[in-house]
Every structure is written in structure tokens, then in C-alpha cells.
Amino acid sequence: MSPNGTLHDAPERALRSLFLGLSQRRSLGRLAVRVPITRPMVGRFVAGETLPEVLVALERLRDAGFTTTVDVLGESVSSAEACAGAAGRYEETLAALAERGLQRNVSLKLTQMGLDISEEVCRETVARVMRAAAAVGAFVRIDMEDHTTTDRTLGLWRELRSLNPESGVVIQAALRRSAADVEALIADGARVRLCKGAYNEPASVAFREREEVDAAYESLARRLMRDGAYPALATHDGRLIGRLLRFAEDDGIAPDRYEFQMLFGVRRDLQAELLRRGQRVRVYVPYGTEWYQYFMRRLAEKPANVTFLLRSLLKEGRGPAA
């Protein structure tokens, strides 16, 4: 990061583009899942490859005081059969959450449900998951992907919302259109998760400088905290969180009117600190064998984390378990 805090200096921007580019290389993904050395690094961000593994992770988080949402990893499928398989994994997951008495809350991506195949296939697949969630009283969050899917994502959520009113969407602060989208979603009474954005978007549709993204995020977060329906503030930026906490205190916004959301394995120290301060914290917990694209985006969000992650893994390997 450059001294004035802009996103990004040339080396960091190049690394971000590299990781995002690599995330689309399916051949590298197939190789990565077979290389043993990647497993400890992936395990930092992914709760496991199987349902039993993620259930154990969810129980630990529950016992520590966190709420959770589960992502059954997968995206950009190319066949209706793959969509049906993804829906089946969500149905299995939802049933297991209900059976184990765990938080019934899941997140899904529309390209995993067939958005790149056809809107009809995607609609049918998402409807199947929505019905399964409604049957066990579960909340479904539709994740947001790159800007080319924004209109279709919001449109499909509005179309299927009646199948499970316990549902919501994601807005990316980096997109220039997001202020208008937030106003419309507030009017809809939608539950919004606000994130900064993890995709390499063109400057024509997105803010590219860190200061601009941070300013947009803070403005949208304040708007949602004041008038939104229980917004989820998804960020690991400690300084930004501090400003939002001061805003909530100054405006008399109680902690039960919003929640913070953070990714599994990221800023665990900050997650614990927010709990100690009486804040609600939900952890986004991904699992499954199709972790490659998700993992590469986590590295792309802050390439310096690669070095930090390696050091943390070495340190934790030498000491007692956290």
C-alpha cells in the first residue's frame, strides 16, 4: 500500500490481478486440490471439504458465541446436472443444520445455481433451495458476483422472495451503482449484506482507489444502519469498524439493529474483540471440495496476507492450538 493509502500501489495491484486471473484457471484449480502443501493454507479459510467437518466447525463457533452462515462452495457451473447437484448439497446441509440444532443460515452464488446456463435453470434451482430453507425456517443470502450479474441477481431475488421471506442479498460498495441499489433495497425492506467487493471490476463501473471504496462503504453502511432491515456489515477493516461503532453510539443505534460479518479464518482477533464489546458477529463458513476460486479471491483481496498467512501457520504449528 502506498503512503497515502490508495488502492493499490503498482505491485499490490499487479498481485491482485494475478490472483484473480489465476482464480479462473480451472486447470490450476484441479492441480491445487491434489497438492498436499496447499491444504494447511486452504484450511485457514475453508472449514472442510465434507459436511461432517463443517458441522464440527459450526459447533465450535456457536460455543464461542458467534452466529454463522454456511456457503457450500461452488460457482460457474456448466450443466443442469451440476446445478441439481449443488441444490442437493444445500438441501443436505440445511437438513443437517436443523437436525443438529445449529444456526439455519446459508449463502449461495447464482452462477453455482446455473445463472451462466440460463435464467430458467437458475430460477428453478434457487427455488428448490428456497423451498428447502423455508421448510426448516432457514435464512438464505444470495451472494453478489461480478458487476455483470448484479441486475439479474437482484431481479431473481425479488422474483423468488415470496418462496422464503427469510432471505436477502449482497451489495458491493465498490460499485458506483450501489448507492441507488441500497435506496431501492431499503424501500423493499430487504436484508442487505454490505461488502467492499472482491472482483476486479473496470473503473467505468467501480471505484478503484482504496480511499474511494472506504468512503463509499462507510456512507452506505451508515444509511443501512439508520434505515435498513438488520443490515450485515461485512468488513475486516478495523479502522472502518471503529468509525461505524462511534457512529452507532452517537446516533443511538443499538447493537441488535445490525451485525458484523467476517470470513472464517480472517481477523479472528477482531471477531473475538467485537464479541467482547457486545457486538453481534456472524462468521461466513465455506466448505466443500470446490474451494479453489474462493481461496484465490481471499488472497487477491490483500496479497500481503500471503506472507502473513504463511507466518501465522508456522507460528501456530509451533505453539499450542488456538
> If pLDDT is split at 50, 70 and 90, which confidence band does 40 have?
low
Buried b (16+ CB within 10 A) or exposed e, 76-91: ebeeeebbbebbebbb
Residue 193: active-site member: yes
Residue 39: predicted pLDDT = 59
Name the residue among 220, 234, 247, 305 with its Cα closest to residue 12: 305
Q: Any residues with CB less than 8 A from the CB of 268 and at least 6 apart, and which? A: 322
Q: Which of 71, 143, 181, 214 is catalytic?
A: 143
119 pLDDT higher than 60: yes
Residue 143: active-site member: yes
Between CA 136 and CA 133 the distance in angstroms is 5
Backbone angles phi, psi at 242, to 5 degrees: -60, -40
Q: Which of 89, 193, 210, 280 is catalytic?
A: 193
> If pLDDT is split at 50, 70 and 90, which confidence band does 3 have?
very low
Residue tagged 501465522 (cell numbers): 312
- What does the pLDDT look like over 143-171, one tens digit per residue? 999 999 999 999 999 999 999 999 999 99
Between CA 230 and CA 275 the distance in angstroms is 17
Under 8 Å between Cβ of 45 and 264: yes
- What does the pLDDT look like over 244-302, one tens digit per residue? 999 999 999 999 999 999 999 889 999 999 999 999 999 999 999 887 777 776 776 66
Quote the pTM value: 0.83
Query: What are the grid coordinates assigned to 236, written together?
Result: 475486516
Domains of the chain, start order: 47-290 (3.20.20.220)
Residue 44: predicted pLDDT = 81
- What does the pLDDT look like over 60-97, one tens digit per residue? 999 999 999 999 998 888 899 999 999 999 999 999 99
Under 8 Å between Cβ of 235 and 217: yes
